[in-house]
Structure 1
Amino acid sequence: MSSYLAIDETLLEARNSAWTAKEIMQQSGCWRETLSLVSAVRKQLDAWLANVLDKPNAQIVFTGAGTSAYVGEAVVGYLNQQLDIPCLSISSTELVACPQQYLQKNRPTLLVSFARSGNSPESVAAVGVVNNYVKHCAHLFITCNPDGALNKQAAQDEHYFSLLMPTQTLDQSFAMTSSFTSMLVASLAVFSDVDNAVLTMADSIDKNIPSKLTQLKTLAELPMHRLVYLGAGSLKGYAQESALKLLELSAGQVMGYFESPLGFRHGPKSLVDDKTLIVLFGSNNNYTKQYDIDLLNELQSDNKAIAVHTLALPSEASAEQLDDVFNGLYYMVCAQIISFYKAWQLGITVDNPCPTGEVNRVVQGVTIYPFSQGDIND
């Protein structure tokens, strides 16, 4: 019988936790397959993008709901360094509720939608909102479900392009894990040459994560009621998703919080007490690292948190001096494992941490209201 996260599969299944454990540990393989999928459609995709983005003043907007929104938060800084076209990250929940605050009707826009199922109400509605508001728009769907509404919609119009992730990324568990990181890898690969960097991180995870499980389990089992993730730049997007993952998998029993190292001093640091664990995603950028070190020293001097821990890259990965958007993949897997072990310690059924249904795998109960230009108060 197999084991995942150093727990026998039979026990994982008995406690309705096997899918989450498997999906966390399958991610390096998913990234390799994702790169191959993007490569297979490279010529077709490049031609489509060239036609979409050749208009003056064009922009790219990354969107999604919940975890899917944080894909954009993690990648947008890196892609703004790589592309001549401005990139923004705006959650679909904001686009749907307040389109006038984020969209310009005369600015050509490529909307990149991330979604595991492709069926969440806001993800589907965001497409219609952009179509109704922006004169020249196109849509790239990066999703995990061939039967999802977004993927099906892509066949209807030449202004839509659908990129499906590997089959196994349609996570069966409640929380998004391999779907999140695979869509993130795909978005980087679509707009930049990232294969070597991603493969370096995949290899590093395969080599180092098994020996790191004990340390991560020890962190997770600290008697905390709050866990703060800190990261700068791209790593802040990963910190945001890490905080949500803890909140979801612990069924709200442990509060997750995120900030940047510099931002943490501006009020949020007041939440630290002797039941707060702080985890820093250390930057590999020599300039940014200075601010990480300053805050780390300050937090250790304060001596208020139950622990202050810096997640460091394995030596061979650190030596590559990759951008933090790639290093974040390693940190993300570690954070997912911490969340799993905390939920496991609490006796939660990790594959379905909210069996009473207040929170669902695909959001329910959202009313989408019709939107048109006439609804905007100019």
Structure 2
Amino acid sequence: MTDSLPAQKDGGATILEIGQQPDVWREIARSTDPALKPFVDDVVARPDLRVILTGAGSSAFIGEIACATLRRHLGRRVEAIPTTDIVATPRDFLEPHTPTLMVSFGRSGNSPESLATTELADEIVDDVWHLVFTCDPSGALGKAHAGRDRSRVVFMPERTNDSGFAMTSSLTSMLLTCLLLLGPATADDAYTLAAAAEHVADLQPDIKSLAHAKKQRFVYLGSGPLAGLARESALKMLELTAGDVVTYFDSPLGFRHGPKSALDADTLAVVYVSTDPYTRRYDLDIITEIRAQLGQDAVAVLSTEPLPESHGPAIVVPGLKGFDDALVALPYLVFAQYLALFTALEHGKTPDNPFPSGEVNRVVQGVTIYPMPQERD
């Protein structure tokens, strides 16, 4: 495969949307509305508050990446629960008498479950507030919550409403903005992360070499916030290759309990190494174990610092040592997106539209939202 950009019909929109992310993150750092902070601070000040991070598909994985970091930073009960779970069994997840901040993520806000989740929260929960992150001002979710006293809608830069099939810049822009408004991230952090993502973009020839091997299985492993990253990475590869490759995600410790059976000579394992020194030990152990089983080239490792010599090489993303894993996930996501894109092209797919016959759609279709039956006395 050559190093030239793919044609627009193949993946031109997707590669542009991946590549624009460093610049988008800088724009977000400059333009996040400070008027949102008083609303957030007032709601979060409630000691009994419950925060639910929700979305569908990749938007749900934003919550999985951010959840633990926000829990530590806010000192509040924070949970990541997909809209698809809430809509299917709302009374299993929504607590009527617990004050709740519902944080919703949606690229377009037009997925049927997105609006239904906020409506169910309004119906079931006595005290509920909404913080909506979306990329489409004309989307149903943003329109529904615009101007409401207990809602705030945060729109991402217009260009993040990705025209490609898979969420790329839309996902990272919503994650970063959430971590700026609710978490520990600062504008300076956003600039540092943008520089790290540019470093990842410079590694495209190396990422193409990984894709050129045309492995049939990809296993993504990460702990804590990086477990959500692993899940999103696996989905991105599955989506852009239209299911031609088998993908799996897990934590390094969980992987040994049966799922390790998936490893074979046609597998590439991608391990995201934590910045936490304690957690990092478990990441290093699984790297050593898989390399001993399948060979050094069977594992691609992303780390913020070089590995000890005994553990083999890593792709080092500089400037992030000591950053929280939820922040480190942002440039790591850029790596995962490029790997999925180039692998899809190697398999002859069209990443901008991997399902030209419409079996899977950019915005989910065919979902019927049913009215919730009233509880019996």
TM-score by structure 2 length?
0.92
CA distance in 1, matches of 2:229, 2:161: 20
1:31 to 25, 43, 58: 25
- Partner letter of residue 155 of structure 1? A
- Partner letter of residue 32 of structure 1? R
Q: Does 1:102 align with 2:93?
A: yes
> What residue is the counterpart of 1:63 in the other structure?
54
Alignment of 1:32-181 (within 5 A): 32-38=26-32, 41-42=33-34, 44-181=35-172
Q: Counterpart of 1:317 in 2: which secondary structure?
A: coil
Shift of 1:295: 1.1
CA distance in 1, matches of 2:146, 2:204: 43
CA distance in 1, matches of 2:90, 2:338: 36
Q: Counterpart of 1:316 in 2: which secondary structure?
A: coil
- Judge conservation of contact 2:135–2:156 (CA < 8 Å) in 1: yes
Cα displacement string for residues 201-252 of structure 1 (whole angstroms, at most 9, x for unaligned residues): 111222x234311111111122321100101111111111000000000000
> What residue is the counterpart of 2:13 in the other structure?
19
- Judge conservation of contact 2:19–2:201 (CA < 8 Å) in 1: no
1:368–1:213 Cα change, 3 Å: same
- Partner letter of residue 275 of structure 1? D
Q: Does 1:323 align with 2:320?
A: no
Q: Does 1:196 align with 2:188?
A: yes
CA distance in 2, matches of 1:54, 1:286: 31
- Partner letter of residue 266 of structure 1? H
Q: Report the count of equivalent residues.
A: 364
Q: Does 1:249 align with 2:240?
A: yes
> What residue is the counterpart of 2:350 in the other structure?
349
- Judge conservation of contact 1:71–1:180 (CA < 8 Å) in 2: yes
Cα displacement string for residues 325-374 of structure 1 (whole angstroms, at most 9, x for unaligned residues): 111112110110000001111111110000000100000000000125x2
- Judge conservation of contact 1:230–1:259 (CA < 8 Å) in 2: yes
Shift of 1:53: 3.4
Cα displacement string for residues 259-295 of structure 1 (whole angstroms, at most 9, x for unaligned residues): 1111100111011111111010111211111111111
- Partner letter of residue 7 of structure 1? S
CA RMSD of aligned residues (A): 1.8
- Judge conservation of contact 1:61–1:87 (CA < 8 Å) in 2: yes
Shift of 1:156: 4.5
Shift of 1:312: 2.7
Q: Counterpart of 1:17 in 2: which secondary structure?
A: helix
CA distance in 1, matches of 2:40, 2:98: 16
> What residue is the counterpart of 2:308 in the other structure?
none
Shift of 1:7: 2.2
1:315–1:101 Cα change, 3 Å: closer
- Judge conservation of contact 1:276–1:305 (CA < 8 Å) in 2: no
- Judge conservation of contact 1:247–1:253 (CA < 8 Å) in 2: yes
1:106–1:316 Cα change, 3 Å: same
1:17–1:137 Cα change, 3 Å: same
1:108–1:343 Cα change, 3 Å: same
- Could you list the runs of 4 or more consecutive aligned residues of structure 1 that deviate by over 3 angstroms after TM superposition? 53-56, 313-316
CA distance in 1, matches of 2:130, 2:143: 13
